[in-house]
Amino acid sequence: MAKQARSTTEERKLVPLDLTAKQWGDLVQLVDQVQPSDEMPTAWNIPPGAVVKRAQLHDVYGGNPRLTVGASGRTPNVFLFLECGSVGDLAPQWQGPVLVAPGQAQWTDGVSYDNLAALAHRRRGVPLRVFMAHRGECLYIGEFAVELESSIERWVDTGKRDIATAYSRRRPNMVDTRAPLFRLRQLHGVSIPASHVDPFQKAYRINLRLQPGADQFSAATAIFDLLTALESEPSTAASLGELDEAQLLATLVQRARRQADLDELRAVVENPDSRESDLQRLVERMTWIFGGEFLPGTARRNLTLRDQLDLTLLRPDGTLHGVELKKANIERLVTGQRNHLIVGAEVNKAVGQAMNYLRELDEKRPQILIDLGIDCRRASMTVVIGHTAFAATDAPPEEIDEAIRTYNSHLNRVSVTTYGRLIENAQRMIDLTSSER
């Protein structure tokens, strides 16, 4: 028996369609296969007051499970864990609206990388998530912020630690360690229970589940909406008889979503008043625009404390690739030199910024590998800057593109492209998939 469905246009006109029982089954099977990506979360999905297994927390969000404070390895978050049963100076204490809580024990004189991640979270725009930890579980208290003034109450001694196993194979080397006491204000969440109350006893447990990527989420949502309409109004069925397989529907939905995103990006790029933030907002949900060699979604943007990438992509082999997005409206995209075109000063400046970021990734590679589980050894960068339509030159677009290609031929780990070229390549990719029908 054929299933019936309704298809609605923007004018709310009904278009009759036929859907066979086999096509209905294929469609249901396809929806069941559209599951969230396990590569990385795209949103914070732990409500205050919920308890999660700490191993599961780090499996999903990354970070070092042995640290008291540290950066998430896969999302823009910083974690701080308060150990239940801590006494003395290491016990979290309220001083009016301020929570004084210990950070990571360290043996160096300066502030360690882990503690600095918490101290710099406001400047970097990264939330500080505070948990209570006990026997392999952690209770999410909520989001806090380090005080702008007097961020550290004081430093306290935390005893001796053997650092030989971490830094050398020499005989044990015991050193004195100390930890900072952070001054924190709670932005939202639940109250920290009194010391004599077990906060884990009546708290509810949750299992973490990753959110799907933007493209996958859009396709899944559209298909689920269609199934809802088909099941709720079977008497007014529409036909999907012209579709050979349900897989084609998913392809069409994804192509339509990508085309809509690309059209929106094109409009923003061609607007001379568009800002870098406007472009970043669109491009960060369009990782497919950089080609099929990257995994869906994005990695964390903050791999170092001093710099932040606009977009971070990962290849299947784990190679990191950064994207630096600049304005589209750049008049001095190229300039004349004798009888030739060369790239302008803003292009050189953007490439220099990318090179500095790669250099810092190289210098911090061991620490990033330990803390975040990301190997930056083979990292590379793409700089997206300018559009030939805004270039203040009489040269045709082809000559501008040729000048940038010549410039790229002398670069190693950094490449430069324009928004026009990026959009043109993406449109060609969509058109090729359309022609394969």
- DSSP per position, 116-152: HHHHTHHHHT--EEEEEEETTEEEEEEEEEE-SSS-E
83 shares a domain with 22: no
Distance between CA atoms of 351 and 341, rounded to whole angstroms?
17
Q: For the chain, which residues score pLDDT lower than 50? A: 1-15, 34-39, 165-169, 210-219, 234-245
Cα 428 from Cα 414, distance rounded (Å): 24
* pLDDT for position 160: 80
The whole-angstrom separation of Cα 198 and Cα 207 is 21
Phi, psi of 430 (to 5 degrees): -65, -45
Residues 225 and 365 in one domain: no
Residue where a domain terminates, one of 204, 223, 244: 244
Q: Print the domain residue range for 63.
A: 51-189
Residue 14: Cβ within 10 Å count: 11
Is 158 within a domain?
A: yes
Report yes or no on 196 lying in a domain. Answer: no
The verdict on residue 407 lying in a domain is: yes
Q: Are residues 311 and 229 in the same domain?
A: no
Tens of pLDDT along 396-435? 889 999 999 999 999 999 999 999 999 998 888 888 765 5
Say whether both 29 and 60 belong to one domain: no
C-alpha span between 124 and 102 (Å, rounded)? 21
Q: Are residues 72 and 101 in the same domain?
A: yes
Q: Please report the pLDDT score of residue 237 as a whole number.
A: 43
Q: Tell me what pLDDT residue 75 has.
A: 83
| Structural domain includes residue 348 | yes
Task: Count each helix (H run) and each strand (E run) in the chain, helices first.
Answer: 12, 17
Residues 172 and 257 in one domain: no
Task: For residues 299 and 420, state if they share a domain.
Answer: yes
Same domain, 234 and 352: no
127 and 269, same structural domain? no
Q: 3-class DSSP state for residue 74?
A: coil
Q: How far apart are CA 224 and CA 34, in angstroms?
A: 10
Nearest CA to 189 among 124, 127, 239, 142? 142
CB distance 238 to 19 below 8 Å: yes
Predicted local confidence at residue 41, as pLDDT: 56
Question: Whole-model pTM?
Answer: 0.48
Cβ–Cβ < 8 Å for 134, 83 = yes
Burial (CB count <10 Å: 0-12, 13-18, 19+), residue 303 = buried
Q: What is the CATH number of the domain that holds 130?
A: 2.30.280
One domain for residues 144 and 263: no
| Residue 369 three-state SS | helix
Residue 293 located in a structural domain: yes
Asked if the structure places residue 206 within a domain, the reply is: no
Give one DSSP letter per residue of 284-345, joined into a string: TT-GGGG-TTS-SS---S-SSSS---SEEEE-TT--EEEEEE--S--TTSEEEETTEEEE-H
Structure tokens at 319: 């190679």
For residues 167 and 286, membership in a common domain is answered with no
Whether 337 is covered by a domain: the verdict is yes
Q: Is 350 inside any structural domain?
A: yes
Total structural domains within the chain: 3
222 and 284: one domain?
no
Q: Beta strands of 86-127 (E only): which ranges?
A: 93-95, 98-102
